[in-house]
Structure 1
Amino acid sequence: MEHKFEQISPHILIMHAEHATDRPVLAAITGERRTLLMDAGASPAHAGLFREELERRGCRLPDMLVLTHWHWDHSFGTGAWGIPAIAHKETAEALAALSGRGWSDEAMAELVQAGTISEDSAQHIRLEYGDSREVNVREPDIVFTGRITIDLGGVTCVLTHVGGDHSADSCVLYVQEDKVLFLGDALGPSIYGGPYKYSSTGFLRLLEITYGFGAEWFVESHGIPMNEPDFRADLAPWERLARLVDVFGHNRERVVLEMKNYLKLEELPRDLLQGVDYFMAGPK
């Protein structure tokens, strides 16, 4: 598998997302005095690849890390770094509940049944860890609520709790000097404990928060970095969809008709039809 790394701004190197096992973006943000890691990775193997690249480039290795939310692909690599981890209070609670558990097929089936993870996540964990499945869930060292500011020396990072459908503990990380906003999976639908779903009002609230940072670049954890014009253009149909659901509720036919008119299309693209289903499954 080819692993892609990219210097996306003066202080930020990222490891791009890899979809085979749902590995998210990892980022090293380097200031004059210390380096901050954004998300720990899905496993020690994932973490190790990024560490090797940082060493190869002669970058300062991370002194601390932050978690955007508790989901396994973002947090299960924490122990491999051996550095202080910072996370929201709800992230810490979710990881504490998983700490010390076994991860056999039977144990994961129980977590799927309870709605803690999905069958897709269980399958990705099998692929990421193999049959031995030695998973070390490490709880964070520093817990915050609201927001926390981290000074790296000439580089200021602000980690803000935003919540949302995807995970109630979701946080976003804004690197002020580089004007880069890491969104984690905050704009994604709910994926655990039932069908994928969105709250239209919640989605619009998150979009308002997202645009309020004044960022010039946006990085979603399972996507590619986008500049502001491209990001707004990419999200515009989803914003319109959410606003239509706010107006017409769960009248699926009317929402689809209005979206077709808005986009001037005879049929909606597959991803937007899927989006309609997510909003229809959300709160009424």
Structure 2
Amino acid sequence: MPEFERISEHIYMMHAEHDTDRPMLAAVVGHSRTLLIDGGNSSAHAAAFRDYLEKEGVRPPDVMVLTHHHWDHSFGLAEWSLPTIAQKKTAEILRGFAELEWNADTVGRLVAESVISERTKNDMLAEYGGDLTRIRVEEPNIVFERFIDVHLGGLTCEIRYVGGDHAEDSCVVYVKEEGTLFLGDALAQSVYGGPMKYTTGKFLALLDTVFAYGANVLVESHGRPVSREEFYGDVRRYELLARQVLRHGRNPEAVETDLRSELGLAENEALPEDLAEAIGYFMNGLEK
């Protein structure tokens, strides 16, 4: 069942659901405008959040921003009929998607071309009840390259292109007066176009960008809102890992040995499963 939450006076959320890869959706409500962060992965996903906002008496969204082009964030766009802000690359990719005739053959071809994955195909089938002809893709109509600010009346949302491994068009959204940073999936590993990977330089540069905001609350699209302290405590482990990869290169054993030491793990204590998996992603990122 969908879970909704008002995380501050001005921000309402629909939490992520993992069964069909639904990311979180958020509405930032100012005195004069409401900004919707991401459109959802389908009409049903979008409609569930819209119904919640209506029941809460929230001012309907006036404009939407897409954090990146991936289907789970953008395929619900058509349900909203809103002016939509997107980074230039996001707009270009969705323009191409909008020209496709969506059906099982199209999705199968996209899997074969590594544009999407087999897992994504299965999530699409589950979300759309097995009928991929129901997919409707629209392209955004407000395009930016590096930065754009959206003024909502008493609130300013700073939208910034950051890129990264997960999607080349990734953006973050900072609600300045609330001290809340929406990260989209920017800090996640790549999921398409080959083995999942992290590129050390890209990852560390992204962390520098995120840390520079000094946000009080950080929200990743497939996670829960967390405090600065919680976020830093978690992501610093990945920073340590990335720096060990810089030091040791294609030597995962040395990376793990020094990472275990930095984390203060006992000799017989296993490396946390997420970090053990991430070592493989960073190794993949070193391949030419």
Amino acid at match of 1:103: W
Amino acid at match of 2:158: V
Name the structure 2 match of 1:46.
Answer: 45
Return the offset for 1:168: 0.5
Gaps of 5+ in 1: none
Name the structure 2 match of 1:260.
Answer: 260
Return the offset for 1:201: 1.3
Contact kept, 8 Å, 2:10 with 2:30, in 1: the verdict is yes
Amino acid at match of 2:232: R
Amino acid at match of 2:22: R
Distance in 2, matches of 1:174 and 1:264, equals 34
Q: Equivalent residue of 2:23, what SS?
A: coil
Q: Structure 1 residue aligned with 2:275, among 263, 272, 275?
A: 272
Return the offset for 1:262: 1.7
Q: Equivalent residue of 2:158, what SS?
A: strand
Give the aligned length: 283
Distance in 1, matches of 2:177 and 2:190, equals 32
Distance in 1, matches of 2:126 and 2:14, equals 19
Name the structure 2 match of 1:36.
Answer: 35
Return the offset for 1:250: 1.4
Q: Taking structure 1 as the reference length, what is the TM-score of the superposition? A: 0.98
Write out aligned runs for 1:181-196 (5 A).
181-196=181-196
Cα root mean square deviation, aligned? 0.9
Write out aligned runs for 1:1-284 (5 A).
2-133=1-132, 134-265=134-265, 266-284=269-287
Return the offset for 1:126: 0.5
Return the offset for 1:104: 2.4
Identical aligned pairs, as a percentage? 49
Contact kept, 8 Å, 1:100 with 1:136, in 2: the verdict is no
Q: Taking structure 2 as the reference length, what is the TM-score of the superposition? A: 0.96
Distance in 2, matches of 1:254 and 1:267, equals 15
The structure 1 segments of at least 4 consecutive aligned residues displaced by more than 3 Å after TM superposition are none
Distance in 2, matches of 1:48 and 1:101, equals 24
Distance in 2, matches of 1:258 and 1:283, equals 18
Distance in 2, matches of 1:85 and 1:262, equals 44
Distance in 1, matches of 2:81 and 2:209, equals 33
